[in-house]
Amino acid sequence: MKEASIGGTFWFAGWLFAISFAHLAWWKIILGIVVWPYFLGTYLG
């Protein structure tokens, strides 16, 4: 289970870096943080 925690942390850090690297507006960042994991979860689930 520890490997999943490390992988999830690394993935989350990379995801936040990608959001900041894209220079999005603040409302698009909030939308990406809230909506994108939902759609990813429904697709993978």
pLDDT of residue 4: 67
Neighbours of 15 (CB within 10 A): 14
pTM of the model: 0.47
pLDDT tens by residue, 1-43 = 566 678 778 878 887 888 788 887 888 878 877 887 788 788 8
pLDDT of residue 43: 83
pLDDT of residue 37: 78
Q: What's the domain range around 29?
A: 2-44
The count of domains in the chain is: 1
SS (H, E, C) 3-45: HHHHHHHHHHHHHHHHHHHCCCCHHHHHHHHHHHHHHHHHHHC
